Structure 1
Amino acid sequence: MKKTLMVGLALLTLSPLVAMASCDSVKADITKKIVANGLPESGFKLDIVANDQADQAGGQVVGHCDNDKQKIVYSKTANGADDSTASPKTGTSQDSSAQ
């Protein structure tokens, strides 16, 4: 009975440590998901910032880490913006050839 209680107490004590993911691993997972959706790694940037500085980072918060003390902020780079403006979905090249 004591052994079961000790194991349960040890698991309960260690569970918050397992739940805390390192910021680098969370950032790597988010990067993989974004690249899997078709955006090249050169087209975006992920920054790890302190919780209170997330608003000044100039991007969208896409994750958190370090027991919610830090945020991961996504922003497009110049390469990503150039690729989206050259996309045929904008209609600029198609409109000019049709006229």
Structure 2
Amino acid sequence: MKRINWMLAVLVVAAPLTAIASCETVKADINQKIINNGVPSDGFTLEIVPNDQADQAGGQVVGHCENDTQKIVYKRNGAESDAVPASTGTSQDAPSS
């Protein structure tokens, strides 16, 4: 019984850490897709923000993570346009037709 309680305690502590890692993983994947589409790595930034702050972040939402509680926002550096390459993000982020 003590072993089960100990394992449960470890899972409770580790769960938030895996959620954070998953957001960083999604961000890294999107970052690589943008670079693969020809955008220089210093030409944009990606930022992880809470859902309720995504509109105020001043960019375009290109992904989400942590059970859709966090958004990944794309901002173009040094350009007037916030255009994102069409194949960036996930299928859930694509506009519906």
Q: Is TM (by shorter chain) over 0.5? A: yes
- Which residue matches 1:29? 29
Alignment of 1:49-88 (within 5 A): 49-78=49-78, 81=79
Q: Distance in 2 between matches of 1:44 and 1:36?
A: 13
State the 1:65 CA deviation.
0.3
- Which residue matches 2:8? none
Alignment of 1:39-58 (within 5 A): 39-58=39-58
**Which TM-score applies when normalising by structure 1?**
0.58
- Which residue matches 2:12? none
- Which residue matches 1:8? none
State the 1:53 CA deviation.
0.3
CA RMSD of aligned residues (A): 1.8
Q: Distance in 1 between matches of 2:28 and 2:58?
A: 20
Report the structure, 1 or 2, having the larger helix content.
1
Aligned residues: 62
User: 4+ residue stretches of structure 1 with deviation over 2 A?
Assistant: none
For structure 2, the residue ranges without an aligned partner over 5 or more in a row are: 1-14, 81-97
Identity %, equivalent residues: 66
> What are the Cα deviations for residues 15-40 of structure 1, in whole angstroms up to 9, with x where unaligned?
xx8xx771100000000000000001
- Which residue matches 1:5? none
- Letter of the 1:26 partner, please give it: V
* SS of equivalent residue, structure 2 residue 71: strand
Larger Rg: 1
For structure 1, the residue ranges without an aligned partner over 5 or more in a row are: 1-16, 83-99
